[in-house]
Copies of this chain bind each other. A is one copy, B any other.
Amino acid sequence: MRLAELSERSGVPSATIKYYLREGLLPPGNRLSATRADYGEGHLRRLGLVRALIQVGRVPVTTAREVLAAVDDDSLDHHMRLGAAAWAIPHGAEPDPADPVTEAARGTADELLERLGWTFGRGAGADSPAYRMLVEAISAMRRLGYPCDVAELLPYARSAGEVASADLDLTERYEREEEQVEAAVALTVLYEPVLLSLRRLAQAEESYRRYT
């Protein structure tokens, strides 16, 4: 398809697509002449992922480029490729390594992963951005005087396990490996507001059931 059709089918303005092409977020089309190129379904899909990262995830262009480089790295096996892409997605505040509250929170995070039997998080993933984000979140709760120990965290972690399983089920609907990795990144970002809004709706429902 030509640029105009890519723009119409994706709902992304031509000028924005040209910007993504210049920034290397979208691979070039097949050149037909000096001014025309042909784009395929892969471009349409990639455009969805770029929009998910930039519009919904509010990821800066340079970070989006790193995420996409990981998505495109087919030298890795499937698990490593998913991991490299997830690693590059921004993860919020970093913990302060010198702080004693952070040290204690790291102990709680490790104990939680051990209780869950999540061996990957304790091994190769022990210093992943997601692990550091968890340590910082636990530290923040404790500094503010709210309870956040393994007992409190366990029900949240079990729910997160179910969500992650649903996430991977969704990516497995895609046939090719590249599409699966793209979908894993996009769905990680796009389902965050879904999860947070459903939690708040569920809180309202649960409060209605318990207290009225």
A: residues with CB less than 8 A from B are 10-11, 44-45, 48-49, 51-52, 55-56, 77-79, 82-83, 86, 89, 91-93, 113, 116, 118-121, 125, 128-131, 133-134, 136-138, 140-141, 143-148, 152-153, 155-168, 170, 173, 183-184, 186-188, 190-212
Contact = CB atoms under 8 A, between A and B. Distances in A.
B55 A197 contact: no
Give the most central of A153, A160, A170: most B CB within 10 Å. Answer: A160
Most chain B CB within a 10 A radius of its CB, from A55, A197, A211: A197
Nearest to A93: B193
Given A168-B207, A206-B168, A207-B83, A160 B201 contact: yes
Contacts of A192: 196
Which among A125, A146, A205 has the greatest number of chain B C-beta atoms within 10 A?
Answer: A205
Contacts of A194: 134, 137-138, 141, 148, 153, 156
